[in-house]
Amino acid sequence: MTSREHGDVAPAFKNYAMASQEVFRLMLGALSRPAVPLACDFGGLFAAPPPMPATLAALALTLADMTTPVWLSPSLAGALGWLVFHRSVRTVADPGDAALVLAAAQNELPDLRSLDPGTPRHPDRSATVLLGGPPPDARAAVSPSGGGNGDGMSAESDAPLLASGPGLKEPILWSGHGLGRKFLDQWEENRLAYPQGVDVFLAGERTLAGLPRTLGLRRRDRDFRRAEGPA
């Protein structure tokens, strides 16, 4: 049965092989340029199911299949039928049992410490987190091939965070995607657990940013503020 025959299910990628490769390349680009929001627009590839935003849905379509245990946050429950229909996913009640964790917003995100970090021998088997929420500053988004200011922030922004680590030549200012102190504390523990740990993708309306487990995130200190001028 096709989605056209099943009238109440929104269609997925018209050409799954090509579209999923495009999305996966963008995801790799996001991890190689941590915290830098990359511009994307998947609206022409498929119809996202309410209440799942298009970018989040495109990532889910690309990574989920019948072998991938998925955890959905409560407000995304309405998209379960769509994922089951198109990708034959199986869901789990405990996010710690999931290989793919989808959360609509930070307030629905499980504690990172409760997620599967992989094992010392197989850190690649850790969970991947797809997190929706407030998009990074659209003015700072760069194309996957380059362009834009590349720092993940607009010139006018008062960035609350500094991001540093592999993939970044030097620390950059970052808007923080609305991530709170609780997340930052959990993220630091996640970073220190390397090579184990989870990777996170931040899905905006038309942007995607990657947080690999090697990325350091901290709030700007007073010295950094003084370097820019009076607060």
pLDDT value, residue 66: 94
- Is the pLDDT at 155 greater than 50? The verdict is no
- Is the pLDDT at 3 greater than 70? The verdict is no
190 and 197 Cβ atoms separated by less than 8 Å: yes
Q: Which residues pair with 216 in a beta bridge?
A: 164
Q: What is the pLDDT of residues 172-230, one digit of tens each?
A: 988 887 788 899 999 999 999 999 999 999 998 899 999 999 999 988 753 343 333 33
pLDDT value, residue 133: 75
pTM recorded for the entire structure: 0.84
- Is the pLDDT at 51 greater than 90? The verdict is no
Diameter over CA atoms, the chain = 63
Q: What is the pLDDT of residues 122-134, one digit of tens each?
A: 999 999 999 997 6
For residue 222, give the amino acid letter. Answer: R
For residues 155 and 224, the model is more confident at 224
Q: Which residues pair with 70 in a beta bridge?
A: 91, 100
pLDDT band at 55 (very low <50, low <70, confident <90, very high): very high
- Is the pLDDT at 10 greater than 60? The verdict is yes
- Is the pLDDT at 137 greater than 70? The verdict is no
Share of the chain above pLDDT 70, in %: 80
Locate 40 and state its tokens. 């994307």
CATH class of 16-143+152-228: alpha beta
